[in-house]
Structure 1
Amino acid sequence: MKNLLLIAYLDLKESIRAKWFLVYSLVFGGMIALFFIAGVTQSQVMGFSGLSRLLLMYIQITIVILPIFILVTTVRSISGDRDNHILEYMLSFPISLKQYYWGKILGRFITVFLPVFFAMILAVIYGVSIGASVPWDILFLYSGLLFALSSAFLGIAFFISSFVKSSEVALGISFFVWIFLLAFIDIALISLMMQNRYEESMIIAIALINPMEIFRVAAISLFDPELTVMGPVAFYILDTFNQWAFVLFSILYPVLLGLVFAVFGYKIFSKKDLV
């Protein structure tokens, strides 16, 4: 356990020194600052005002930016150590493969989750200072959703990094995964629905396998329990889940998905040539 925490600390320290962490923190902190400058908390659109509207906008932007940041910065975690011969050096110490692998995951999770979470805390502190009401229930649930989304893509990134030796190939695969989940799967499912080749319920169920889609629907449901902005799709979702059951599912499923990918990544990492 001590070695695992040591690896996590070293990865965390290395990430903080890297330029990408500064950019990563500035992106999410800058978004909150930009919303404040634009007067988002003082305006009202479609019934959303104050911190509720700010959090809604923050989450909708985060769903696009957060996955690609996690994939790009994490997918080179193990493959980069191979390229720089750091992996061979680290394993020369009395550290097991399990401690190295899960220590890297722990350290990288802290790195990718805390800036996103602290940006929301910054929004709450500012909101309280100007006398805005804080939607605590939505804040806690959004924190859970961000935790789940980070877990899912962190597991996917380490799975890719475990079997790809070249950092360039790892980056290419991570971009493909992000684009596929963000756009291609929606385009493909919409075309199938328009051609009426499959039942709508099956197409929607396939769409909800996508952790990004689940995150988006759950975030909308916190402000719009009837999911009116989603049109007919809402009827299938609401008939299958109630709001709280769906939000709970949208938190547990990505965490489980990320854990499964991380475990498979460890299996591959422990059985293949390491250097």
Structure 2
Amino acid sequence: MNAMSFDPNAQPEPTLMPRATDVRGASLGLSMRLELAESLRSRWFHFYSAVVIGLMLLLVTTGISESRVLGFTGLSRLLVTYIQIMMAVLPLFIVITTARSMVGDREAGNLEYMLAFPISLKVWFWGRFLARLALIVLPIAASLALAAGYGAVKGHAIPWTHIGLYSALLAALTTCFLGIGFLISSLARSTEVALGLSLLVWMVLVALLDLLLLSILIQGQFLPDFVIGIALANPLQSFRTASMILFDPQLILLGPSSYVILDHFGVNGYVIWATVYPTVLGVVMAGLGYLRFSRGDLV
């Protein structure tokens, strides 16, 4: 029997250690999968999907694409109506359900269990954010695909450019209010407070859409550019104006304020603004929520 030889100068064989980026990527994927699995089992996602897709089915079955209003007909008329309804439904639903999420987990004791997983708080927070963003955008994409399929069956011209831009605008609006919801959820200490803050934010943004803001500022004799700038800082107003400018490039429905918008932005510039600004605002709000959440009492 031969004895095994031992070389004292031999170097140990190198081992493959996972890189930090790989570990963070795996942890982020784990956090997203946990949030996706939890949300898919909850009632809010199924109710939300039924509302978003059901609205499109309702518009399709009522034959609204066959009517003509302000020159819009076919699939364009259907998309205009759907996008205006979504502007009222989507932000309210997002901010209420999201603002109560982490507060509800804290009150139920689930947050302490979730934070026991071997992942960092940052990865867990942003993984949850990205998972919810994907879950909210998915039914919207399905409804727009349903509209395109309906238009193809009916022989309507399909405005693919408008469908793509509407998808980007809805994703930007979703990111904005999702970030606001995460910020509220990190600030509130109970679900009642979170719900109250959510409704307050929603009512303020709706009230400042047009009439209230313009009447107050015009009576105060402010410059028109300043008044319109304040209005466009409202993500709801930015979304609403961008949805109008796609089918009304001259913004006739806005009256004299259209000259200020078109002179400063132009059609393409304003669509870019209405897409980028709410997205950046939502990410900043979520970042502030993470800072507050990481420095406060987690459980």
Q: Is the TM-score greater than 0.5?
A: yes
Q: 5 Å matches for 1:60-139?
A: 60-139=84-163
Instruction: Tell me, in whole angstroms, the C-alpha distance in 1 between the residues paired with 2:94 and 2:28.
Output: 21
Instruction: Specify the alignment match of 2:4 in structure 1.
Output: none
Q: Which structure would you say has the larger Rg?
A: 2
- Tell me how far 1:194 sits from its aligned partner: 4.2
In terms of fraction of residues, the more helix-rich structure is 1
Normalising by structure 1, we get a TM-score of 0.96
2:37 corresponds to which of 8, 13, 38: 13
Instruction: Specify the alignment match of 1:265 in structure 2.
Output: 289
Instruction: Specify the alignment match of 1:251 in structure 2.
Output: 275
The answer to whether the 8 A contact 1:192-1:198 is kept is: no
SS of the equivalent of 1:223 reads coil
Supply the AA of the counterpart residue of 1:261.
M
Q: 5 Å matches for 1:1-275?
A: 1-184=25-208, 186-275=210-299
User: CA-atom RMSD, angstroms?
Assistant: 1.3
5+ long unaligned stretches in structure 2: 1-24
The answer to whether the 8 A contact 1:77-1:161 is kept is: yes
Instruction: Tell me, in whole angstroms, the C-alpha distance in 1 between the residues paired with 2:126 and 2:218.
Output: 44
- Tell me how far 1:170 sits from its aligned partner: 0.6
Instruction: Tell me, in whole angstroms, the C-alpha distance in 1 between the residues paired with 2:210 and 2:103.
Output: 30
5+ long unaligned stretches in structure 1: none
Q: Show CA shifts across 1:163-221 (max 9, x none).
A: 21211111110111111101246443122244143112111100100001000000000
Tell which deviates more after alignment, 207-216 or 155-164: 155-164
The answer to whether the 8 A contact 2:207-2:213 is kept is: no
Instruction: Tell me, in whole angstroms, the C-alpha distance in 1 between the residues paired with 2:97 and 2:145.
Output: 23
For CA contacts below 8 A with separation 6 or more, give which structure has more relative contact order: 1
Normalising by structure 2, we get a TM-score of 0.89
Supply the AA of the counterpart residue of 1:72.
I
Instruction: Tell me, in whole angstroms, the C-alpha distance in 1 between the residues paired with 2:212 and 2:258.
Output: 19
The answer to whether the 8 A contact 1:75-1:157 is kept is: yes
The answer to whether the 8 A contact 1:3-1:95 is kept is: yes
Moved over 6 A (4+): none
Instruction: Tell me, in whole angstroms, the C-alpha distance in 2 between the residues paired with 1:7 and 1:165.
Output: 23
The percent of aligned pairs where both chains have the same amino acid is 47
Instruction: Tell me, in whole angstroms, the C-alpha distance in 2 between the residues paired with 1:167 and 1:117.
Output: 30
